[in-house]
Chains A and B, each alone.
Chain A
Amino acid sequence: MSKQRILFISFGQFGSDFLEKVAAAVKSEFGVPVGFDINYGVLTHFYDPSRRQYNANELIKFIHEKYGNNGAKTIGLFQVDLFIPILTFVIGQAVYKGNAGIVSLYRLKNELYGMKKDENLLFERFCKEIIHELGHTFGLTHCTSPVCVMRSSTYIEDVDEKNARFCASCKKQLDQALHEEPS
């Protein structure tokens, strides 16, 4: 099947040039082919009306079941607010050393914090979170380097403190993982 090692599935409205830009940024950080696809399905049965959010665990399960057997690390890209039962929200989530993950743009938007809309900043934050979750699927854990993309970040304020790049030691670990896993 596909030789893509990383696959993005978009749910909801994203501009195609936006996604292409994201794919290019991720490709340059991982150095492997990246593809993307669109899912036109509706998300209603992932919605929790009492929390008015979407269940991240269920969405990951769905992605794993639907796309998991093509061998690529598959990340679902969302516009909606995500939660897992134990936490009030998550920006992204991935299966550690698995093949599936999700990231949402929702909490990354400046406007929701009463600040001026900033498309470039939004793009940068989104890339950081996607690269971070992909890092987990390749077996990376959180890093204590203050600027490494694997630094744990629960809020956009934390996301802004780090770079969209792996530090030297995470990069080394990633390269090893990329070599080990057959394409």
Chain B
Amino acid sequence: MTNAISLLIVDDEESVRDSLYNWFIEDGFTVKCAENAKEALTMLESENFDIILADIKMPGMDGLEMHRRIKTLSPEAIVIIMTAFASVETAVQALKDGAYDYITKPFDPDDLSHLIRNAATQIEQKAEAENFKNKETNLENIEDIVGNSQSMMQVLKEVENVSQSNSSVIITGESGTGKELIARAIHSNSSRKFFPLVTVHCGALSEDLLESELFGHEKGAFTGAMFNRKGRFEIADGGTIFLDEIATISGKMQIELLRVLETKKFVRVGGNKEIKSDFRVICATNRDLKKMVEQGTFREDLYYRLNVVNINIPPLRERPGDISLLVNYFIKKYCTNMSRDLISIEPAAMKRLEQYDFPGNVRELENMIERAIVVGNGKEIRLKDLPMKTNAPVDSSESLSELEKKHILQTLNKFDWNISRSAKVLKVDRVTLYNKIKKYDLKNPNGK
């Protein structure tokens, strides 16, 4: 989970120490164990721990007394009390004395991980606050988001800003632009990162399934069921729910969704207990939701609740400068996946890719590269390994002026609308270029 966190387990039962030791080592913590209160207190005199997980009932010293002494030796440490069901009252007393929380043996794995994730979040936030001045803008888990064009830099900047907040986000963009990657990046860089990111592909669910999917169901609701099924909103507790293709949900679900977003409460199918969940919502769509609101097919109240922040991912044809980076990234990715040596790409093939307008965006490019590696000669990607047949982007249905318009726009985007550089490449003077921009009503996607 995170390397920096140190943890001390205090329990007189060897099997408990071993099990917990193993659990936390796998989480990436630095873990030490003590058999009794005395040993733990001796360790605390010379060592600091971020989290102390201690049984309240051990021979040798009263648990509450031990807790008080731990608090004096390590006032900063987060102390979690472990208790058998019979001694819950003592644990409650420990809470009053400043323990962080308590947990009853045997633990439900989910309770334990929730507790520890909460503690880890708190420790990390504290560390971040202390290092605030020299905090670098270092986004995690974004290696799949490739591009150094101005427009992608802007997207990453928005990701960074929004990940620190709890606001609802709508990610818009044509299909294949990588909206899910952006959702992942927001989650992974938020304080919710230790908790789940739950993805719901709204378009893939039928309405009768959607309810049980989102809200879960009690085991009694179906014959033969031995366990409850948690719904997506419940799993997302502490984390983020990502609703992909939000525009596809029915009117009935829009009402349900709005209610859950407002109350953060719901009931499982077949149940009557109200369940609370603390989640953040990120949605994605390739449709124009605003227009759907105007047409009356998407609820306005829901739209405003979801659309607090909007991040728009530019289509690939508007950032052709990123194509070569993406090509090299996908070559590396697929050669590694297929356990092959890295291959190169022939300049003519790269050029052809840079001229293509990718209606299917990054996903289309990715599929092309994967296919080219499979069908190719194992050394380099050649022009003939690509699905486009000819060397020039000619579409016979396009008029000459349409082609000119497209070519000028691509060139401008490639150089981030630097007029001098674009004019030079297009072999026209700047005035001519300005006139063409006017003639074709070309717009800078970054709005300058």
Which residues of A does B touch, CB under 8 Å? 31, 57, 83-90, 93-96, 107, 111-115, 136, 141-142, 144-147, 152, 154-155, 157-158, 161, 167-169, 171
Closest to B25 in A: A96
Which residues of B does A touch, CB under 8 Å? 1-2, 13, 15-16, 18-20, 22, 25-28, 105-110, 112-113, 140-141, 143, 184, 187-188, 193-194, 196-199, 217, 219, 221-230, 232, 235, 336, 339
- Are A96's CB and B26's CB within 8 A? yes
- Are B109's CB and A144's CB within 8 A? no
> What's the Cα separation between A116 and B143 when bound, in Å?
37
Q: Which single member of A86, A144, A157 contacts B19 (CB below 8 Å)?
A: A86
Q: Which single member of A87, A112, A115, A145 contacts B109 (CB below 8 Å)?
A: A87
> What's the Cα separation between A95 and B1 when bound, in Å?
17
> What's the Cα separation between A67 and B226 when bound, in Å?
34
Q: Which residues of B have CB within 8 Å of A89?
A: 109
> What's the Cα separation between A136 and B22 when bound, in Å?
10
- Are A88's CB and B106's CB within 8 A? yes
- Known contacts A93-B22, A141-B27, A144-B194: A113-B229 contact under CB 8 Å: yes
> What's the Cα separation between A152 and B239 when bound, in Å?
14
- Are A113's CB and B339's CB within 8 A? no
> What's the Cα separation between A89 and B219 when bound, in Å?
17
- Are A57's CB and B15's CB within 8 A? yes
Closest to B116 in A: A152
- Are B188's CB and A88's CB within 8 A? no
> What's the Cα separation between A31 and B340 when bound, in Å?
12
A166 to chain B, nearest CB (A): 10
Q: Which single member of A31, A115, A145, A154 contacts B141 (CB below 8 Å)?
A: A145
- Are B184's CB and A142's CB within 8 A? no
B169 to chain A, nearest CB (A): 15
Closest 5 CB pairs of A and B: A114-B222, A114-B225, A141-B28, A154-B109, A146-B197
- Are A84's CB and B19's CB within 8 A? yes
Q: Which residues of A have CB within 8 Å of B20?
A: 86
- Are A152's CB and B112's CB within 8 A? no
Q: Which residues of A have CB within 8 Å of B110?
A: 154-155
B255 to chain A, nearest CB (A): 25
Q: Which single member of A88, A111, A145, A146 contacts B224 (CB below 8 Å)?
A: A111
Q: Which residues of A have CB within 8 Å of B219?
A: 113-114
- Are B105's CB and A86's CB within 8 A? yes
> What's the Cα separation between A107 and B19 when bound, in Å?
20
Q: Which residues of A have CB within 8 Å of B107?
A: 86-88
> What's the Cα separation between A142 and B22 when bound, in Å?
12
B208 to chain A, nearest CB (A): 13
Q: Which single member of A84, A86, A146 contacts B187 (CB below 8 Å)?
A: A146
Q: Which single member of A90, A144, A147, A157 contacts B230 (CB below 8 Å)?
A: A157
Q: Which residues of B have CB within 8 Å of A107?
A: 227
- Are A154's CB and B16's CB within 8 A? no
Q: Which residues of B have CB within 8 Å of A113?
A: 219, 225-229
Q: Which residues of A have CB within 8 Å of B224?
A: 111-112, 114
Closest to B29 in A: A141
Q: Which residues of B have CB within 8 Å of A154?
A: 109-110, 113
- Are A87's CB and B106's CB within 8 A? yes
Closest to A154 in B: B109
Q: Which single member of A94, A111, A142 contacts B27 (CB below 8 Å)?
A: A142
Q: Which residues of A have CB within 8 Å of B339?
A: 31
- Are B235's CB and A158's CB within 8 A? yes
> What's the Cα separation between A83 and B113 when bound, in Å?
16
- Are A152's CB and B22's CB within 8 A? no
Q: Which single member of B108, B143, B184, B217 contacts A168 (CB below 8 Å)?
A: B143
> What's the Cα separation between A83 and B109 when bound, in Å?
10
